[in-house]
Amino acid sequence: MRHRTTAIRPALPESPAGPTALVLANGKPPSLALLRALRRRVDVFVCADGGANVAAKASLRPDLIIGDFDSVSAATLRKFRSVPRRRLRDQESTDLEKAISWLLQSGIRSITIAGAMGGRLDHLAGNLSVIGKYSRRADIRAVDDDAELLPVGDRRSLPYEPGTTVSLVPLSKCVGVTTRGLRWELRNAALELGVRDGTSNRIIARPATVRVRRGTLLAYCLFPSGDRGR
């Protein structure tokens, strides 16, 4: 089925300041249509280790392959023999973190991540942690065919159609959480894993907004069924 590109337009700011990048991680791969659409809209394409295997199947040449190289195949490395590589054996950081860190060092502050959602739960948890860790240093977001994951920071506008499902995922204790344009509004609320969550809310007015006074909060936005997989 063909992915409808209108569903992924929020994956990049309307007018990003400076160069933009796409990181392809080694998780559940996006559809070929989505991956190609995301690639067309950025300046730099980086594969985090085994993400290069997905790029090879899609015949999309990355600008860099980075990681500890325990997942990328020999066939992929042969296909991309002319692509620059950075092999970092540091086991204290994931391949996704290595890629984001390299982009930040290169002065890139607008980063879209594909292949980071779905798949193994432990890998997903690690990816969420990395996104939260760097969320205040860059405009970082993760996207797949069904949803987009956005760090809230202090305030985040959610420019999606009414009917979009929104779940608020606190990575730390979040206080002063206030929403606007959602079916079940929060006013100066506290969210914390294992205490109170904010799953399966729904946008009823545009633009919906989320504010948080303190803490690291992510917004998981699930596109309406009519905007997926067409």
Q: Omega before 207 cis (within 30°)?
A: yes
What are the residue boundaries of the structural domains of the chain, listed by start?
5-145, 155-227
How does residue 10 score in pLDDT terms, banded at 50, 70 and 90? very low
What pLDDT digit, counting tens, does each position of 117-143 carry?
877 788 888 899 999 999 989 999 999
Confidence (pLDDT) at 159:
87
At residue 137's C-alpha, the angle toward residues 186 and 69, to 5°, is 115
Q: Which CATH class is domain 5-145?
A: alpha beta
Q: Which residues pair with 153 in a beta bridge?
A: none
Confidence (pLDDT) at 228:
42
How does residue 12 score in pLDDT terms, banded at 50, 70 and 90? very low
What distance in Å separates the CA atoms of residue 223 and residue 146, rounded to the nearest whole number?
6
What pLDDT digit, counting tens, does each position of 201-230 carry?
999 998 899 999 999 999 999 987 644 433
Q: Is the pLDDT score of 110 beyond 60?
A: yes
3-class SS of residue 106:
coil
Q: Is the pLDDT score of 1 beyond 80?
A: no
| Edge-to-edge strand list for the sheet holding 208-211 | 155-158, 208-211, 174-180, 189-191
**Chain length of the chain:** 230
Q: Is the pLDDT score of 20 beyond 70?
A: yes
Tokens 């995922």 found at: 169
Q: What are the structure tokens assigned to 111, written together?
A: 């980063």
How, if at all, do strands 20-24 and 44-48 pair? parallel
What pLDDT digit, counting tens, does each position of 163-199 carry?
999 999 999 999 999 999 999 999 999 999 889 888 8
Instruction: Please state whether the predicted TM-score (pTM) of the whole model is above 0.75.
Output: yes
Does 155-227 match 5-145 at the fold level?
A: no
Which CATH number is associated with domain 155-227?
A: 2.60.120.320
- The predicted model gives 77-91 an average pLDDT of 93
C-alpha distances in angstroms, 117 versus 27, 82, 212, 213?
Answer: 7, 29, 24, 27
- The predicted model gives 2-29 an average pLDDT of 66
